Chain A
Amino acid sequence: MKLLTRTNIYFTLIAFVVFAVGGMVFYYELGRTTKNDAEEKLNNERDKLIGYVRTHKNIPQNFIYFGDTVCFTKYSQPWSLNGALQKSVKTLPGDSKIEAYRLETPGCTVCESEQLLKDTALYITTEKDYEPYRMLEFGLDEDTLHYRVLILKPLIESDELADALVSTIAIIAVVLLVALLLTNLLISKTVWRPFYKMLYKLEAFDLTKEGPVEFGNSSIKEFQELRNVLEMMTRKISSDYRSLKEFTENASHELQTPLSIIQSKVELLIQSENLSAVQMAEVQAVYEATGRLSRLNKALLLLAKIENRQFAETKEILLDELIENKVENFSDMIAHKHLNVVKELEPITINMHPSLADILLSNLIGNAIKHNIEGGTLKIELTTNKLTISNSGKPLSMPPEELFQRFRKADGASESLGLGLAIVKEICNVNGYSINYFYVNNLHIISVAL
């Protein structure tokens, strides 16, 4: 998943939560504020009313005094809230309303508390629905005047409020998301471009082919840092790789030279006429050990070189021809062991470094000859995607999974270096071939899936 896609998903989720919570908070806050506001106005009007009654010793006859939103009703019937409310339906929606009821006894005796503040609903005929009101109820006693007064202020209807909020927030959310997507698109096209460029360059980076990589410039600090780190890293990797390569070559030189000296000295010693048989046998042992050391050194260097991908370039190789060639080269060793060679080769072309193809076949075929029995069978099969080499022989003395490990030797093959199949395995790794070993019907079978 792309970074921006993921960011968008998270952002959308978070935005959804934020808008939901925010909407709720907004809803309650708005409700509370309108309620407070209504209460303030209720108290205000109560004070005005009390003030008027004190001054004029009468309840106002005039509605205009309280503004045109006030509907003023006077009753002198005994107090009954329900009856009073039934009568107030004539009011218009959204209008405030004051109702004063003349009482025979002081207002406060009717109700225990001085005043009562509560939510209520009025049935609005034009709307054919109840609408929420905030109501202040209090007793008003001035000399012989006793009133029970109700002041009602309309509140915003809660479902209307919710509807309005939901639709507003939804619109904001959609606009925000669209804006976000567009911004991200723009960002990925412009701001992130250096990043993707670096990524492609890094992907294409091949240690064996080139030196350090130039990642290009960017005006964004993080990308500059990334570029610096990448350039430093590839430079370091390249230089390490170069020095490793140099090391293997130097190691080769440094080891081969003393080996050459030993070998040449021993060869000169062999030429001398006056060595005793015992001395000659000792010289021979030195000579053979030197030869083995030299082969070992060569094999280890080869392994290192393959591991370091120093055989990166490939060529088209006619595998069947190469196999015929190899078998021909080995013909003396094959004849010496009286092996029966069976070849079933289809003409196959593969892409591989020529040296590696050569070594792969040499080691596989050589191995099949070396570990064969007198008069045994050597079978080489080549099909479109499989090379199978089998040879007669006794079962393995080691677990098959250890066969391709370094310095693993079959019993009685102490002269062997134990690196032949390790090299084969490494060549297969480098070329992406899989290699398997089976033992069926007294045959060791090694198959390489090309």
Chain B
Amino acid sequence: MKVLLIEDEKSLADSIESYLKQEGYICEVASDFNSADEKAKLSDYDCVLLDITLPGGNGLDILNNLKKQKPDAAVIIISARNSLDDKIKGLEIGADDYLTKPFHLPELNARLKSVVRRRNFSGSNELVFDEIKVDLSEMVARVKGEPLILTKKEYELLLFFIANTNHVVTKESIAGHLWEKETDMADSFDFIYSHIKNLRKKIMEKGGVDYIHTVYGIGYKFVKK
């Protein structure tokens, strides 16, 4: 899978690139308006990660140009501006998602996969992870063919884990993914624990392996056999 990362902060671009490479993506980086605009036009990418504030121009212009040329291009805006106007404008022009900095790398990864999956939706819309199969259109997860009865949060948690297989996901990033704004009000992330416990129990009840490893104090890791 090929991703174009348009980001002028080199350190941040490096981090994102490094994380995505671990996921097996091919990642190209553009750090200013002109080279980004050119790259976006010239080759085909599965997804473009676009920073709005760029030296030499506004990222939204790149989005405009790209959408004119390739209306199907998948784009996620990553912006430091937490402004509703920017978000609405970006989504109107045709961005698939809008992520405000600072974001968690697992969150970006999960959204990237979700966007690409939606774009490439052809035939089977199924996510396979060892003996777990997730039917995304029906929103049902099965272990060895047997359906798991999951709450909405547990289902989302499972997808988040699968998207970030073999990565440590912190409690903060899980809370951010599942509860978004409400996590700002939380004084601890202990309430996540019961969801993890339930998900683990339900997978194992259906004969699955215990994929969820606890990384003490920090978070969890969904490990492939």
**Interface-forming stretch among A85-93, A122-130, A265-273?**
A265-273
A298-B82 in contact (CB<8A): yes
A268-B80 in contact (CB<8A): no
A336-B190 in contact (CB<8A): yes
Interface residues in B1-58 by Cβ distance below 8 A to A read 9, 11-12, 15-16, 18-19, 22, 53
Contact count band on A: 35 or more
A335-B168 in contact (CB<8A): no
A267-B105 in contact (CB<8A): yes
A393 to B22, CA, bound (A): 47
* Chain A 249-282 interface mask (CB, 8 Å, partner B; 1/0): 1001100110111111101101100000100110
A336-B191 in contact (CB<8A): yes
Number of A-B contacts (CB under 8 A): 123
Which residues from chain B contact A413 at a C-beta distance below 8 Å?
187
- Shortest Cβ gap from B160 to chain A (Å): 14
CB of A366 closer than 8 Å to a CB of B: yes
A363 to B186, CA, bound (A): 10
Contact of B218 among A253, A257, A287 (CB under 8 A): A287
- Shortest Cβ gap from B33 to chain A (Å): 16
Which residues from chain A contact B100 at a C-beta distance below 8 Å?
256
Which residues from chain A contact B170 at a C-beta distance below 8 Å?
267, 270, 287
CB of B181 closer than 8 Å to a CB of A: yes
Which residues from chain A contact B81 at a C-beta distance below 8 Å?
249, 252-253
CB of A332 closer than 8 Å to a CB of B: yes
A332-B83 in contact (CB<8A): no
CB of A112 closer than 8 Å to a CB of B: no
Which residues from chain A contact B80 at a C-beta distance below 8 Å?
252-253, 256-257, 260
Contact of B179 among A271, A329, A420 (CB under 8 A): A329
- Shortest Cβ gap from A344 to chain B (Å): 22
A-B contact pairs, 19 of them (CB 8 A): A253-B80, A256-B101, A257-B12, A260-B12, A260-B101, A260-B103, A263-B103, A263-B104, A265-B11, A280-B217, A283-B218, A287-B218, A329-B179, A332-B194, A333-B185, A335-B194, A336-B194, A355-B84, A366-B185
B residues sitting closer than 8 Å to A (CB atoms) are 9, 11-12, 15-16, 18-19, 22, 53, 80-84, 100-106, 153, 167-168, 170, 172-173, 179, 181-182, 184-188, 190-191, 194-195, 215-219
Q: Which 10 A-B pairs have the closest CB atoms?
A: A366-B185, A264-B15, A336-B191, A260-B102, A256-B80, A253-B80, A260-B101, A256-B101, A261-B11, A259-B102
